[in-house]
Structure 1
């Protein structure tokens, strides 16, 4: 039975298929300054930016990974539709959209197909 590390909509990541090696989340908080005469500026919290989540990994083509999944994700990203993102522990990141997707191929077979496909996906909260 294959264990799913992460589900991004219908796209699955697991140890035996499309495994990722890092997941990074970034929080940015916004503050505004109000200038005051003869005193330092007053700082006020004004909100936060969407939290980008970056997922990086490598698909080794000799494993049982879905070699077309990165291309399928790129096509889905072009729709602008949100996906539900849930990790393997059941934690839900809620609705997210694909902001960017990169794919790199390396270590080629004689026929030109790659032995390894590196990917980086950035998603942000939707809504």
Structure 2
């Protein structure tokens, strides 16, 4: 999978879970003595959460987290493409969560768990 020019992989970040949430909008108008009238108003929010664990001794690089953070700091939208070459759409990075685990001497983490939240913009 790629987000812009960032490639998710064994040398950067290999994610182990992807959750996609898609909704559709239905506008409603209240009616007297009847159920609300509903009209389809188009696609709603399309969001993706990518999560995984980085263990530099085995796979991944802490520098990849910095790269994703720098991408988010630009506020740009990025094309998201799956491993088969299918473009899923253009997404922005809304949120990143990191958890440092297995802390070693000096406060260095042996691993980091991460979650990256994306929202489709086009």
Q: Could you tell me the TM-score, scaled by structure 1's length?
A: 0.85
Residues 36-74 of structure 1: CA deviation (Å, up to 9, x unaligned): 233222111122322000000000021252211112211
Alignment of 1:101 with 2:92, yes or no, is no
Q: What SS is found at the alignment partner of 1:22?
A: strand
Aligned to 1:34: 29
Q: Gaps (5+ residues) in structure 1?
A: 1-5
RMSD of aligned C-alpha atoms?
1.6
1:81 corresponding residue in structure 2: 76
The count of aligned residue pairs is: 122
Structure 2: runs of 5+ lacking an equivalent:
none
Report matched runs for 1:1-127 at 5 Å: 6-15=1-10, 17-127=12-122
Query: Given the two structures, how large is their TM-score scaled by the length of structure 2?
Result: 0.88
Q: What SS does the aligned partner of 1:96 have?
A: strand
Conserved 8 A contact 1:17-1:63 = no
SS of the aligned residue for 1:52 comes to strand
